[in-house]
């Protein structure tokens, strides 16, 4: 039986290392086979191993939805060519951003209906990212954090945000993402939910340290039926 909770070499913040849309999941090149099997099984995607900026921090550096992927300015030519090759089948756009705040997974939370972005990102880069992702990116914060990507997990089914966010913030984000959402925690009490799990419209995987209660919050937020 494959369990949907795992660690990346003992690290439960698996969202730092993995990024997914509804058809493709990117994992580090040194991932154990169980990581590939688990993500493929629960996210129901094709899984590809790669590096980004010669590092394993794919979830930190990359933002993506079904329309496109945003890569950092420190990505290598070899990595760009590989990402383009795997995105070609789905017709997704690939963009290497010149933005100096280049941890795009940390700074962007996006589905196929809308997105939010760190207010410190330049307006010119934001517009280019919007063209690539095919959605409007609204500059905002979550619970006073400008790093919105680390404080939010979003799919086309729902979203989960930092438990300290206000009710007004929750309602505001529901209008942007065009899905319902909830507040919660991951990995035993942390509000940085964006790095505690990976979710798409088909399913989710989560860090080993998350409790059953936290997984229940995520399931409710994403409108899933937890069959684990």
Tokens read off for 92: 């997704």
Residue-wise pLDDT for 78-125, tens only, equals 999 999 999 998 899 999 999 999 999 999 999 999 999 999 999 999
Residue 20 above 60 pLDDT?
Answer: yes
Angstrom distances, CA of residue 163 to CA of 185, 192, 194, 217: 6, 9, 12, 11
Confidence of residue 225 (pLDDT cuts 50, 70, 90): confident
pLDDT score for 1: 72
* Every domain of the chain and the residues it spans: 5-218
Longest dimension (CA), the chain: 48
Check if the beta carbon of residue 45 is closer than 8 Å to that of residue 23: yes
Burial readout 117-130 (b: 16 or more C-beta within 10 A, e: otherwise)? bbeebeeebbeebb
CATH, range 5-218 = 3.75.10.10
Euclidean distance between CA atoms 10 and 163, whole angstroms: 25
Q: What is the mean pLDDT of the chain?
A: 97
Task: Provide the whole-model pTM.
Answer: 0.96
Instruction: State mean pLDDT over 42-67.
Output: 98
Check if the beta carbon of residue 65 is closer than 8 Å to that of residue 110: yes
Residue 146 above 70 pLDDT?
Answer: yes
User: Which helix or strand (DSSP H or E) is residue 81 part of?
Assistant: helix 77-87
pLDDT score for 226: 60
Q: What angle do CA 164, 169, 173 make, to 5 degrees?
A: 120
Euclidean distance between CA atoms 170 and 159, whole angstroms: 10
Check if the beta carbon of residue 42 is closer than 8 Å to that of residue 204: yes
pLDDT score for 2: 85
Residue 68 above 90 pLDDT?
Answer: yes
Task: Give all strands (DSSP E) within the chain, no chain letters.
Answer: 5-6, 19-20, 24-28, 46-50, 63-64, 68-71, 93-96, 108-110, 115-117, 137-139, 152-154, 159-162, 181-184, 197-199, 204-207
Euclidean distance between CA atoms 115 and 87, whole angstroms: 20
Residue 227 above 70 pLDDT?
Answer: no
Tokens read off for 76: 């290598």
């Amino acid at each position: 039986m494959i369990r949907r909770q795992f660690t990346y070499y003992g690290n439960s913040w698996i969202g730092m290392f993995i990024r997914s849309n509804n058809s493709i999941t990117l994992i580090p090149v040194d991932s154990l086979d169980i990581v590939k099997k688990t993500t493929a099984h629960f996210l129901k995607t094709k899984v590809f191993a790669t590096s980004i900026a010669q590092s394993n921090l794919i979830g930190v550096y990359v933002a993506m939805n079904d329309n496109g992927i945003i890569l950092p300015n420190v990505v290598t030519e070899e990595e760009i060519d590989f990402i383009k090759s795997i995105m070609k089948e789905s017709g997704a756009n690939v963009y290497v951003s010149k933005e100096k705040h280049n941890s795009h997974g940390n700074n962007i939370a996006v589905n196929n209906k809308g997105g939010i972005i760190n207010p410190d990102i330049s307006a010119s880069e934001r517009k280019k990212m919007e063209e690539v992702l095919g959605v409007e990116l609204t500059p905002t914060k979550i619970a006073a954090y400008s790093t919105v990507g680390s404080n939010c997990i979003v799919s086309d089914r729902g979203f989960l945000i930092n438990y300290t966010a206000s009710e007004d913030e929750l309602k505001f984000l529901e209008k942007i993402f065009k899905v319902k959402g909830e507040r919660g925690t991951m990995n035993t009490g942390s509000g940085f939910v964006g790095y505690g799990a990976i979710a798409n419209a088909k399913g989710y995987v989560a860090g080993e340290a998350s409790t059953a209660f936290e997984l229940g919050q995520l399931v409710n937020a994403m409108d899933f039926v937890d069959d684990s």
